[in-house]
Amino acid sequence: MRGLSTYLMGRLVAAVITLLGVSFVLVALIQFLPGDPARVIAGLRATPEQVARIRQQMGLDESVPVQFWRFLEHLFHGNMGTSARTGDSVVSEITARLPFTLELAILGTLVGVVAGITLGVIAATHKDRLLDSFVSMVGVMGISMPVYWLGILLIMLFSVKLQMLPVSGAATLSSLVLPSVTLGVFSMAIIARMTRSTMIDELGQDYVRTVRAKGVVERVVVYRHALRNAFVPILTVIGLQFGTLLGGAVLTETVFAWPGIGRLLVDSISARDYPMVQGIVFVFAAMFIVVNIITDLLYTVVDPRVRLYG
């Protein structure tokens, strides 16, 4: 337990340092990006004096180190500022939208994991045959196909032509199908390629030959022995893909008008709502770090031979 505590403490320290770096970059970028949040809040008809007063209230007239310190001070008290576009609390808007993004990322990852591992195992067990070539082709298409283009194609087919699923929104459970599949296709391709590679290596190991020589059913050899030992690198890819989907659902949420923080980020950038942009990017970074830590801890559950600490 002491080793685990030490490991977690080290990871938490590294996470804090990373988030501090992200926070500084977020604050510094405001000085170089076009647009003026104070002007957005004041309105186009505001006088220069009114804009200057709002800029002073927001602390935009301060130096970058001072703004960075104030950002951290507010963050410590659970305050990320006020949206320049809506006037609402950044934290409250992110909290309202975050469950939708998490829901979409979890289902998209689930689609990618189930389909990716299945296709990867099929390709590995049919190496250099027709099924292997087919899975490889599907993987290349999944990686190469732009997410927004795939989303539009699915809308045209299942919503416009067949009228089976909703075009956009999150009113019903069926609204989750198209965006989840759209997100899951890219993850499926990555996971399938990793599964195929690791499974081919495992199926060529001596212990697999020994198990087969004992007359064990091939399905048991593949799934209980080979896949289990090959799962650690696959789990790494799954964790990375889930973290990526949390921040990479921006295009998907925009195409399907999904009310998540990805779409909120796009709207905030268009409106030059920098406090909201800062808060969303910070939350994305924090979630990605948390996912990576959880993934590392799951290694020991999947394979007891793995030791993250002494």
97-302 — its CATH code?
Answer: 1.10.3720.10
What's the pLDDT score for residue 67?
82
Each residue's pLDDT tens digit in the chain (310 positions)?
566 677 778 888 888 899 889 888 888 877 776 666 676 666 667 777 777 787 777 777 777 788 888 888 888 888 887 787 777 888 889 998 888 888 888 999 999 999 999 999 999 888 888 888 888 888 888 888 888 888 889 889 888 888 888 887 777 788 888 888 988 888 899 999 999 999 998 888 888 888 888 888 888 888 888 888 888 888 888 888 888 787 657 888 888 888 888 888 888 887 778 888 888 889 888 888 888 888 888 777 766 666 655 5
The full set of domain ranges for the chain reads 2-76, 97-302
- Which of 174, 176, 166, 40 minimizes the C-alpha distance to 108? 176
Q: What is the torsional sign of CA 79, 83, 88, 91?
A: negative
Helices (H), the chain: 2-29, 37-42, 48-58, 64-76, 90-125, 130-144, 147-154, 177-203, 206-213, 218-220, 227-248, 250-255, 261-270, 274-302
pLDDT at residue 264 in the model: 87
Say how far residue 302 (Cα) sits from the centre of its chain: 22
d(CA 275, CA 84): 7
pLDDT of residue 256: 86
How big is the CA angle at 33 (ends 30 and 39), to the nearest 5 degrees? 80
Cα Dmax for the chain:
85
pTM: 0.82
